[in-house]
Amino acid sequence: MNIVVIAIYIVLGLMGLGVLAMLLFGIRSLAFGKINPLTMGIVCVPVIILIVLGFILPSWAEAGIMTILITLGLTVLALLLTGLKGLFT
């Protein structure tokens, strides 16, 4: 087996452990009341968009790119609305 393939598997394993740790600590923080449930819901929006687009679009790669673009658009819109709100108050 090539060293590059082994390195890719190691990196993917470490990424998986990192995501699992973030999920577990997020659930722990939610259970102890250290995080607002609305904030947790907002963090989950890109994951939901990815899953929906993954089943609609022909490939998961396209779904990932569209998810990034949609999330970027929503972020710009939120920043714009927040700025306008601050302008008028």
pLDDT in tens, 16-57: 999 899 889 988 888 888 888 888 888 889 999 999 999 999
**Distances, alpha carbon 67 to alpha carbons 2, 33, 36, 79, in Å:** 33, 29, 24, 18
Residue pair 39/64 in contact by the 8 Å Cβ criterion: no
The alpha carbon dihedral of 82, 85, 87, 89 has a sign of negative
Q: With 0.95 as the threshold, say if the pTM is over it.
A: no
If you write DSSP's letter for every residue of the chain in order, what string do you get?
Answer: --HHHHHHHHHHHHHHHHHHHHHHHHHHHHHTT-S-HHHHHHHHHHHHHHHHHHHHSS-HHHHHHHHHHHHHHHHHHHHHHHHHHHHH-
- 71 or 33: which carries more pLDDT confidence? 71
